Amino acid sequence: TKDDENINSQPFMRWRDRFDFVMEAIQKAEHETGERKGHYLNVTAPTPEEMYKRAEYAKEIRAPIIMHDYLAGGLCANAGLANWCRNNGMLLHIHRAMHAVIDRNPHHGIHFRVLTKILRLSGGDHLHTGTVVGKLEGDRASTLGWIDLLRESFVPEDRSRGIFFDQDWGSMPGCFAVASGGIHVWHMPALVTIFGDDSVLQFGGGTLDHPWGNAAGAHANRVALEACV
């Protein structure tokens, strides 16, 4: 599960209270299932110092993963947080909130393909890339190009995917592509075909909207994924 990208520490939901309540639920779920669980705790904050404070607290309460809005928070702040996570044994989930302000208009701004490369250079373990079959913008060819740029060590020229020259990433660590936004269990065959099994599939409203409830929605996601992989 994850925090919403727009949640940081508003008056109706202070970050420390949210972290504590979430970890209580995670520990309960781990005890009941015998499985390792996690929740992306959003540490995005007005200053890097405040972000580190929240990250340290997440580590203190044994959270395995935190989250950052890398465009809203800034690239230098993201690089520092990525280094901190690497040094402290935590995962860093990256959300692309605010990207549409930068990449949506074809006549100015920065293409998301470039923002994808910048994130890989800056650091992070997961990055939202769109879904092809969900509600977010991005055709299949372009999205596959973004996925390759994130996780492959060598990306050959493929102009159909917007890759105009060979790119050798050498030993630069890769990043998991995240499909999230308007997807549900019936999209699973297409998602597995497009993203493969080296990816993260996030079902929010598509889980909660199950006619039998949230737990049934989560169970349906798992059954469908295991059937498709």
Per-domain residue ranges for the chain?
A: 1-99, 129-229
State whether residue 85 is helix, strand or coil. Answer: helix
Q: What is the CATH number of domain 1-99?
A: 3.20.20.110
**DSSP 8-state secondary structure symbol assigned to residue 64:** S
Tell me whether the CATH fold assigned to 1-99 matches the one assigned to 129-229: yes
Single out the residue of 146, 132, 138 nearest to residue 194, CA to CA. 132
H or E element in which residue 149 lies:
helix 140-151
The first and second tokens of residue 138, run together, are 């991005």
CB of 41 closer than 8 Å to CB of 16:
no
- Give the chain's end-to-end CA distance (angstroms, integer): 21
How confident is the model at residue 195, as a pLDDT?
A: 93
Largest CA distance in the chain: 53
Domain range 129-229, CATH class: alpha beta
Q: Rounded to an integer, what is the distance from CA 4 to the centroid of its chain? A: 11
CB of 46 closer than 8 Å to CB of 72:
no
Cα-based angle 193, 195, 197 (whole degrees, multiple of 5): 90
How confident is the model at residue 133, as a pLDDT?
A: 85
CB of 78 closer than 8 Å to CB of 44:
no
pLDDT in tens, 112-156: 999 999 999 999 999 999 888 876 667 888 889 999 999 999 999
Supply the pTM of this predicted model.
0.93
Tell me which of 205 and 65 has the higher pLDDT: 65
Number of Cβ atoms within 10 Å of the Cβ of 179: 26
